[in-house]
């Protein structure tokens, strides 16, 4: 991951900090509740295949993030940074928005637009959720302005989505115009019950990515792909032999893993599973609305770009599925545990989105965060507990070997691709971060001492600060504490930090300090 701006040289904010309440003073309930509803809408909305679902999560996450960004002092708009994203509505610096109201109406509006063909029962649930929150917030200051701002941002994001190449994509999953190439080692559509498969979204890779760098062919993990060969000593054949042998000797645990991560037709899809885990992690941490906006925004964009680049790669290399090669070269009666989907093998879509998920969520929650995935509890066994987010990502990848769907090189290539995508999205958010400038720092009157500091940092104010947060030179949160006027910084690494102080009247002030 590249590093760029320091806090001293960072960009100026689009709106003054003093004019806005902080998003982090509110719980994440409204965002988590909409994601929970989405996990019901995806499997019941016609045409929401994995690529289509991933795209929707990208624009939903972007709408949530952009609608709340003016209330997140250290983060900037992706406008001017994300690919072709420009001219989003600006928040009024003279209005203290009620951020949960903004989020509620932004989410309801963008989901309504993207899921336009969802059954009426889903629309009713969506509108009921919006109306329930709006009724609870109606007495808040600047309620009407908050509703209008959330709707305006979501409408602008939907307009942005309409020219990415995937507009109304749920009604065009299997274009008849696509004719797969023919040759040794190339993907062959299966014939199931007398009907030949049609390729799922073969032109998906032509759509616009959120990060322009993710459209570069150089990101494709071709180094993992062996040359086609039927020689029994070749890497290609040995990879197929591995799939065959694993399939013949599946343990109960391997079968459970394959089914737990299958997320096949008529389910929440693999990107939906990743969104489900993000929601679980946010709830486990009791995260605030700011953390949720950043998490769903960053994850949504990375899942969308991961599927886009993965699909582009699939239909460039058009590699044969294990079931076709094994039946032709090893055992004509062999069948995989899971049904083989209608698109080429390399790289694994599950692994690509898992690599993106693992990269982004580890960045946000930490490397050694244990959590329990309850997504398919009581459907495919008891909840699964992991010692880290990457442990879950790697299990999701290997599950495709157990299911007989992918070769190991397809899974490894997918994880590599997804990691690159995730890092590119992290870089995109960091480039757009609103880090505090020297001019803004000089304008603050609050006293922070000593500076430089070694062990304890004090805030000179008669009342305890509502919140004190320290950010490092990448704009990442280093530590925070509420209802206090001092921080124990003894364990922090030496370097430059920005102290963000939220006072009792919700004013937000910043100071640069040096930790010795």
| Confidence at 39, pLDDT banded by 50, 70, 90 | very high
What are the backbone angles phi and psi of residue 192, rounded to the nearest 5°? Answer: -120, 120
CA R_g for the chain = 24
User: pLDDT (tens digit, 9 = 90+) per residue, 170-203?
Assistant: 999 999 999 999 999 999 999 999 999 999 999 9
Q: What pLDDT was estimated at residue 2?
A: 39
User: How many CB atoms are closer than 10 A to CB 419?
Assistant: 21
Owner of token pair 């399939």: 247
Q: Average pLDDT, whole number, for the chain?
A: 91
User: pLDDT (tens digit, 9 = 90+) per residue, 207-228?
Assistant: 999 999 999 888 889 999 999 9
| Confidence at 308, pLDDT banded by 50, 70, 90 | very high
SS3 content of the chain, % helix, strand, coil (to 5): 50, 10, 40
CA distance 250 to 196: 29
| Confidence at 1, pLDDT banded by 50, 70, 90 | very low
What are the backbone angles phi and psi of residue 495, rounded to the nearest 5°? Answer: 150, -170
User: pLDDT (tens digit, 9 = 90+) per residue, 230-257?
Assistant: 999 999 999 999 999 999 999 999 999 9
Q: What totals of helices (H) and strands (E) does the chain contain, helices first?
A: 14, 11
Which SS3 state, helix, strand or coil, does residue 382 take?
coil
Q: What is the DSSP string of 448-485?
A: EESSSBSSEEEEE-SS-EEEEEEE-TTS-EEEEEEEES
3-state SS track over 386-445: ECCHHHHHHHHHHHHHHCCCCCHHHHHHHHHHHHHHHHHHHHHHHHCCCCCEHHHHHHCC
**Residue 14 pLDDT greater than 50, yes or no:** no
User: How many CB atoms are closer than 10 A to CB 211?
Assistant: 25
Q: What pLDDT was estimated at residue 245?
A: 98
CA distance 55 to 209: 10
**Residue 433 pLDDT greater than 50, yes or no:** yes
- Strands 195-196 and 191-192, by their bridges, are antiparallel
State the average pLDDT over residues 438-464: 70
Percentage of the chain surpassing pLDDT 70? 92
Q: Are 457 and 513 in contact (CB under 8 A)?
A: yes
**Residue 152 pLDDT greater than 80, yes or no:** yes
Give the number of C-alpha atoms closer than 13 A to the C-alpha of residue 458, restricted to the C-beta side.
5
**Residue 272 pLDDT greater than 70, yes or no:** yes
User: pLDDT (tens digit, 9 = 90+) per residue, 93-144?
Assistant: 889 999 999 999 999 999 999 999 999 999 999 999 999 999 999 999 999 9
Which SS3 state, helix, strand or coil, does residue 334 take?
coil
**Residue 434 pLDDT greater than 70, yes or no:** no
User: pLDDT (tens digit, 9 = 90+) per residue, 422-432?
Assistant: 999 999 999 88
Residue 486: alpha-carbon gap to chain centroid: 35
Q: What pLDDT was estimated at residue 12?
A: 30
């Amino acid at each position: 991951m590249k590093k760029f701006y320091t806090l001293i040289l960072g960009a100026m904010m689009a709106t003054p900090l003093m004019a806005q309440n902080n998003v982090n003073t509110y719980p994440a309930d409204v965002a988590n509740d909409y994601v929970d509803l989405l996990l019901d809408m995806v499997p019941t909305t016609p045409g929401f295949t994995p690529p289509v679902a991933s795209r929707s999560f990208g624009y939903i996450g972007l709408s949530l993030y952009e609608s709340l960004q003016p209330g997140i002092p250290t983060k900037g708009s992706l406008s001017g940074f994300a690919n072709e994203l420009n001219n989003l509505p600006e928040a009024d610096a003279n209005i203290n928005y009620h951020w949960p109201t903004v989020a509620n109406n932004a989410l309801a509006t963008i989901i309504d637009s993207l899921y336009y063909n969802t059954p009426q029962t889903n629309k009713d649930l969506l509108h009921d959720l919006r109306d329930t929150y709006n009724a609870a917030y109606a007495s808040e200051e600047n309620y009407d302005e908050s509703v209008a701002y959330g709707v305006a941002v979501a409408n602008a994001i939907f307009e942005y989505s309409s020219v990415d190449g995937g507009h109304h994509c749920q009604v065009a999953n299997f274009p008849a115009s696509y004719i797969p190439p023919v040759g040794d080692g190339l993907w062959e559509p299966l014939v199931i019950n007398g009907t030949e498969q049609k390729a799922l979204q073969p032109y998906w890779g032509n759509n616009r990515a959120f990060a322009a760098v993710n459209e570069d062919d150089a990101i494709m993990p071709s180094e993992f792909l062996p040359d086609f060969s039927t020689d029994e000593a070749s890497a290609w054949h040995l990879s197929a032999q591995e799939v065959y042998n694993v399939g013949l000797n599946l343990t109960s645990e391997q079968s459970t893993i394959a089914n737990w991560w299958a997320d096949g037709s008529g389910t929440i899809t693999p990107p939906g599973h990743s969104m489900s885990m993000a929601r679980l992690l946010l709830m486990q941490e009791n995260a605030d609305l700011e953390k949720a906006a950043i998490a769903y925004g960053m994850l949504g964009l990375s899942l969308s770009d991961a599927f886009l680049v993965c699909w582009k790669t699939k239909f460039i290399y058009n590699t044969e599925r294990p079931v076709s090669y094994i039946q032709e070269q090893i055992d004509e009666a062999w069948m995989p545990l899971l049904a083989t989907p209608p698109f080429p093998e390399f790289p694994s879509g599950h692994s690509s989105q898992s690599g993106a998920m693992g990269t982004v969520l580890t960045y946000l929650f930490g490397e050694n965060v244990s959590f329990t995935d309850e997504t398919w509890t009581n459907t495919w066994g008891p909840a699964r507990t992991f010692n880290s987010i990457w442990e879950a990502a790697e299990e999701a990848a290997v599950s495709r070997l157990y299911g007989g769907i992918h070769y190991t090189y397809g899974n490894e290539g997918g994880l590599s691709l997804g990691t690159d995508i995730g890092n590119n999205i992290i870089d995109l958010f960091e480039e757009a971060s609103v880090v505090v400038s020297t001019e803004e720092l000089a304008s603050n009157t609050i006293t922070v001492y000593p500076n430089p500091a070694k062990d304890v940092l004090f805030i000179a104010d008669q009342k305890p600060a509502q919140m004190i947060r320290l950010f490092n030179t990448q704009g990442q949160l280093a530590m925070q504490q509420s209802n206090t006027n001092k921080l124990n910084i003894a364990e922090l690494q030496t370097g430059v930090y920005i102290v963000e102080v939220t006072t009792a009247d919700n004013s937000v002030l910043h100071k640069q300090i040096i930790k010795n």
